[in-house]
Amino acid sequence: PKHVPVVSIVAALLPDMGIGFQQSLPWRLSKEMKYFREVTSSTFDGGKQNAVIMGRKTWESIPSRFRPLPNRINVVLSRSFENGQMKQVSLDENKTYFQSSSLQRSIDSLMSLMGEKLERIYIIGGSEIYNHAFDVIDHVLITKLEPVDTVRPKMDTFLDVAKLNDSFQEMNQNLADFLPPNVTLPKPHNQAYIENENGYKFEFSLYSRK
Ligand code: FOL
């Protein structure tokens, strides 16, 4: 294929874009998780699929009943995986995923393996992968969270805000067209898609390369 868009998707707490604490998400937001599932699973073309690429620690943080994430090609990165071709691994009869030791090689392998059947590649974390991937991605889907009458959670991993702002600009007016039609967005309140849950206010946003 000529070009498959590579898109990071992440939920981050303002103002410093904290994304994790002790190897898991610092919040439980089912509407936000539903948005993640719909965006990464849905396609414009019913004959195509998306792939998700994640680091080894993110893979281990996903409850085992949801692994590999269904209806998506899953790729797990680790420096300890053998160099060379991306390798397919089986969990059982019908659950398989891929292992790779390089982000760039996994992107190239997905494109040659799936050809025209691949619609988008989503980078799904964690912080080490996101901050390294800023050099190769085309867009970032950030859900910006703010606590409302809730204590700010402790966080130990962050997006690199300087890298984000250096190379990307917010393009929220394009969000609805960027997402496949069966993704559910909240009613827009003056240009912004805002949701509220569990003591957090959050806004779905799109950043595109400058
Ligand atoms: N991006 C956004 N916007 N929100 C997130 O929570 C998020 N999380 C990760 C990466 N990008 C994100 C990494 N963490 C599952 C669990 C943790 C996780 C990613 C995915 C997971 O179990 N997903 C299931 C749905 C589970 C459910 O419906 O409760 C899936 O099928 O996607």
- Atom of ligand 1 lying closest to residue 29 CA: 6
Verify whether ligand 1 is closer than 6 Å to residue 67 (CB atom).
no
- Residue 173 DSSP code: G
Verify whether ligand 1 is closer than 6 Å to residue 62 (CB atom).
yes
Q: What is the pTM of this model?
A: 0.98
ipTM at complex level: 0.99
pLDDT digits (tens, 9 = 90+) for 129-172: 999 999 999 999 999 999 998 899 999 999 999 999 999 999 99
Give 37 Cα–ligand 1 centroid separation in angstroms: 6
CA distance linking residue 170 with residue 189, whole number of Å: 17
Nearest CA to ligand 1 atom 4: 11
φ, ψ at 108 (rounded to 5°): -60, -45
Nearest CA to ligand 1 atom 30: 37
Verify whether ligand 1 is closer than 6 Å to residue 207 (CB atom).
no
pLDDT of residue 1: 63
pLDDT of residue 84: 84
CA distance linking residue 3 with residue 12, whole number of Å: 28
Q: Which residues of the chain have pLDDT under 50?
A: none
pLDDT of residue 93: 84
Residue 166 burial class via C-beta count within 10 angstroms: exposed 0-12, middle 13-18, buried 19 and up: exposed
Residue 20 burial class via C-beta count within 10 angstroms: exposed 0-12, middle 13-18, buried 19 and up: buried
pLDDT of residue 154: 97
Mutation test of ligand 1: which of 17, 33, 95 has the most ligand atoms closer than 8 Å to its C-beta?
33
